[in-house]
Structure 1
Amino acid sequence: MSTRKIIILNGHPAPSSLSKSLCDAYRDAAEAKGHEVRFHDLSAMEFDIDYGQSGYKAPKPLEPDLARFLSDLEWSDHVVMATPMWWGAVPAKLKGVFDRALLPGRAFDTRNINFMGMPAPMLAGKTARVLLTSDTPALWLRLIYGNAIKRFISGQVLGFVGIKPTRFSSFAPATDAPDVKVQSWLRKAAGLGAKAV
């Protein structure tokens, strides 16, 4: 298997979390197999999460952490993101990354519209893996909530800018998970990293 260029985003806003541990396990295994990895930790990123009122014609300049993230996203051919599910969605600061960094001219082209009026994606040719932690079991997430968070991430964010397919690995219930379970999850993340999938 050829080596891949991988960007990893730990999307948990706390400096220590299960999401961070899953990212570390994935990264260590991927690097051990020779893949090139660039890591971004949401808790350490400094930027204004509010896009504001300026519109796309006069967006806020990207702070250095967002500029590095977007540059590494463009460089990569595989995107790995870990996120907890909070209130059925992603943490506000992670949503802020999407709002601020995925801009027209870099992530999608508003000058190139398809027959449905959708702008052309500019980050095509990349695949994605989402490491999703939650207290909602995967079966409930699908049957009760219709996989809303997965549809949001894969269709309305990553897919919109051309990153697809997006595959998910769910880790639940995450709060107070016994150590034996956490260790099995870390091995699973490492297995994904070793294969760069």
Structure 2
Amino acid sequence: MTKRILVLLGHPDGRPERFGHALATAYADAAIAAGHRVRRIDLAAIDTPFLEGQWEFESPPPPHIVAVQEDILWAEHLVLLFPLWLGATPARLKALLEQVFRAGFGFTVGPRGWSAKLKGRSARLVVTMGMPAVVFRLMFGSHGLLALDRGVLRLAGLSPIRKSVIGGVEAIGAKARLRWLAKMRRLGRLGV
């Protein structure tokens, strides 16, 4: 079964030699080869100003943010790749998420609680980091992923949300990088 997949590379550094770029390309190319329809967004190519206050959060987004929202609405599966910086998503990625998930896009809050508006979609979070993945999971409780998983995506109705955590990225070596690229290609073919 073919899927509509949005690959969002959430690294502020747009240089193609970044490992995240290679991971995103491996996933997207394999998904296309398997017959999936793929759109790709690179954070480095998007103007992502920070929201200045609630008034801005509640106002209509600029056209380039509307385009990102439309890509998310189009997609059945969202793949978000990003580095872990200071225990969380990079500030510029957080700024993009705040712009995209402005009031009313992903969910609404009313007297009866919240209403998820992106149900029926799944996601994969691919995070790279300098620390070992086991340390991130056991000592820090994967908090950098949980905030995005529970505080944004799950709240908006995305499920399941799968995670690929690549620890020690600066030191893993060529063989491990090739294994991760192969894994991304396999996941891309499957559309998960």
Question: Which interval holds the TM-score relative to the shorter structure?
Answer: over 0.9
Distance in 1, matches of 2:127 and 2:152, equals: 15
How much has 1:151 moved relative to structure 2? 1.1
TM-score (norm 2): 0.93
How many correspondences in the alignment? 190
In structure 2, the partner of 1:55 is: 55
In structure 2, the partner of 1:163 is: 158
How much has 1:87 moved relative to structure 2? 0.5
In structure 2, the partner of 1:15 is: 14
**Structure 2 unpaired stretches of 5+:** none
**Structure 1 unpaired stretches of 5+:** none
- Code of the residue aligned with 1:153 in structure 2: it is L
Q: Residue 55 of structure 1 aligns to a residue in which SS?
A: helix
Among 112, 122, 130, which residue is 2:117 paired with?
A: 122
Distance in 2, matches of 1:57 and 1:136, equals: 34
Could you give the per-residue CA deviations for residues 67-103 of structure 1, whole angstroms, max 9, x where no partner exists? Answer: 2111010111100000111100000010011111102
After the TM superposition, list the runs of 4 or more consecutive aligned residues in structure 1 that deviate by more than 3 angstroms.
none
CA RMSD of aligned residues (A): 1.5
Could you give the per-residue CA deviations for residues 30-82 of structure 1, whole angstroms, max 9, x where no partner exists? Answer: 0001100110000011131x1112436742x4233322111010111100000
Matched, 1:184 2:179: yes
In structure 1, the partner of 2:144 is: 149
- Code of the residue aligned with 2:41 in structure 1: it is H
Q: Residue 142 of structure 1 aligns to a residue in which SS?
A: helix
Flag the 1:176–1:140 CA change in 2: closer, same or farther, 3 A.
closer
Q: Residue 160 of structure 1 aligns to a residue in which SS?
A: coil
In structure 1, the partner of 2:39 is: 38
Flag the 1:57–1:191 CA change in 2: closer, same or farther, 3 A.
closer
